[in-house]
Amino acid sequence: MNKKAKELGLENTNFVTPHGLDQDEHYTTAYELAIITDYALKDKKFAQIVNTKQVTIHINGYSKEIGNTNELLGNLNGVDGVKTGFTNNAGRCLVTSTTRNGHQIICVVLGADTKKIRTQDSIKLIEYAFSNYEYINIKEKINEQFEKWEKENIKNIEVIKGKNETPQIKLDNLQFDKVPIDKNKIKDLEVQVICKNTLEAPIQENSIIGEVKVTVKEETIATVNILLKETIEKKNIMNYLQQFITNYDTYLQQAIQ
């Protein structure tokens, strides 16, 4: 479990017990529980189980009805999981997954004094998120701004000692195509292209030479690297000689003037 936590990049989670009961040095955070939940929901069987309201099982020939303890499942629009919890130290806890119009959010409430408070706080957070945030396709905005910038600035990048004087560039893969943004702040969304003005050969393919940054009121919400499409080799003596021969007439005219 701790190995998986490290793989997921969790810095504030440590497992001591497999069942989650209170134990010294057994801890996590609301944010990292959301990361764990997001990872777990990628497993279709897990997602199916936590979205099941009621099921009949059979033990030794006897049938038994088992009900999901998630009080929001089946009672709040779009809820499709995930897990309730309680220990004396953690209090009443609830991790909720809600999907509406193809968009999913994960809500984590910890340390509630009662089940009622846990439920109320979860509903408030879920409704707030869907009411106040809108998904924006930042991939389209990044590509549009990058293509415009490339057309206007690519020839201004100086390649020192390079066989290719104009570099071929591309964008790295973007982690998310769409991100939720506060509706009141969408007007403040900006896409900025930051790229080196000077490169010195040799430079390897896929070298990072800049980035495209997406900000909302100076808060960075996404970045994507600008990469070289192909290696730029360093000029050798023959390249310089060929360049001199090719430009000889120009040099001569300049000398005469």
Q: What is the rounded distance in angstroms from the CA atom of residue 193 to the CA atom of residue 145?
A: 8
Q: Which helix (H) or strand (E) holds 20?
A: none
Global confidence as pTM: 0.79
Cβ atoms < 10 Å from Cβ of 226: 22
- Rounded Cα gap, residues 92 and 76, in angstroms: 19
Q: Where are the domains of the chain?
A: 2-113, 137-256
Pick the CATH number of 2-113 from 3.40.50.300, 3.40.980.10, 1.10.645.10, 3.40.710.10: 3.40.710.10
Q: Which of 50, 75, 54, 83 is nearest to 66 (CA)?
A: 54
End-to-end CA distance of the chain: give it in Å, rounded: 77
pLDDT in tens, the chain (257 residues): 999 999 999 999 999 999 999 999 999 999 999 999 999 999 999 999 999 999 999 999 999 999 999 999 999 999 999 999 999 999 999 999 999 999 999 999 999 999 999 999 999 999 999 999 999 999 999 999 999 999 999 999 999 988 888 999 999 999 889 999 999 999 999 999 999 999 999 999 999 999 999 999 989 999 999 999 999 988 776 665 666 566 656 655 666 66
Q: Is the peptide bond before 79 cis (omega within 30 degrees of 0)?
A: no
Give the alpha-carbon dihedral of 196, 200, 205, 207, to 10 degrees: -40
Tell me the one-letter amino acid at 3: K
Q: Name the class of domain 137-256.
A: mainly beta
Phi and psi torsions of 221, nearest 5°: -110, -15
Peptide bond into 82 cis (omega under 30): yes
How many residues comprise the chain? 257
CB 110 within 8 A of CB 93: yes
77's tokens: 């629009």
